Amino acid sequence: MSAMVSILFITNNEHKVEEANRILSPFGIRLEMSPQKKVEIQSDSLVRIARYAALTAAKKLKSPVLVEDSGLFIRALNGFPGPFSSYVQKTIGCEGILKLLQGREDRGAAFRCAVAFWSPNLGLHTFHGESLGRISLTMRGHAGFGFDPIFVPSGEDLTFAEMPPEQKDLFSHRGAAFRAFGSWLSSKIIAKP
Ligand code: IMP
């Protein structure tokens, strides 16, 4: 693709837009933040949530749209907060999660991300990414957002919030999902994105 392709990203989260654009720029793709209400169904599947929200937005906007749904899944808590991560972050936050894990030996966790993209000529496509890791014993670092200060990716010592942004992208669920999307889309020709 030669010219930059621009797509509406349905989200209210500026951090997600910043990360996604950093990851997508080598593919010649730019996301424009469209802060309208994302229609979210109750589901334990991030892919299902993202697909439904993308189709609802596409129906209304009739132009290429992208929705991302992500969450933190903690093994000792049977996958909680998962699809409820945004609400849990706003209510009990990182401190609350650390309290829930007090005395637990198993601190294994995964961040997951589902990306749903729709365009008139390519239809609906989904991509996902996962980052395996663990929940730290304390909050560390100030970069990023959400649960970044308590998530340490496998094989590393730093939390996402202690890493330079590009290093987080290398390990993150968002990095994996958006790189998959970027390489797929850049292999297609979108007549009118
Ligand atoms: P949603 O996708 O808008 O439902 O929100 C996902 C929530 O999961 C965010 O509000 C964060 O609390 C959390 N989350 C998702 N991805 C990340 C990340 O990369 N770092 C930290 N927290 C994240």
The pLDDT assigned to 3 comes to 66
Q: At what angle do helices 173-186 and 14-24 cross, to 10 degrees?
A: 50
Which pair of structure tokens corresponds to residue 12?
């209210």
Note if 44 is an active site residue. no
**Residues within a 6 A CB radius of ligand 1:** 13, 69-72, 85-86, 89, 111, 144-148, 160, 172, 174
CA contacts within 13 A on the Cβ side of 177: 30
Comparing CA positions, the residue from 146, 72, 83 lying closest to residue 107 is 72
What's the helix, strand, coil split of the chain in %, to 5?
40, 25, 35
CA of 128 to the centre of ligand 1 (A): 14
CB 90 within 8 A of CB 146: no
The pLDDT assigned to 189 comes to 60
pLDDT along the chain (193 residues), means of 10: 78 96 95 85 90 94 94 98 96 98 97 97 96 98 97 98 98 98 86 47
Q: Which residues contact 91 (CB under 8 A, 6 or more apart)?
A: none
Cα-based angle 88, 92, 97 (whole degrees, multiple of 5): 85
The pLDDT assigned to 110 comes to 98
The pLDDT assigned to 1 comes to 45
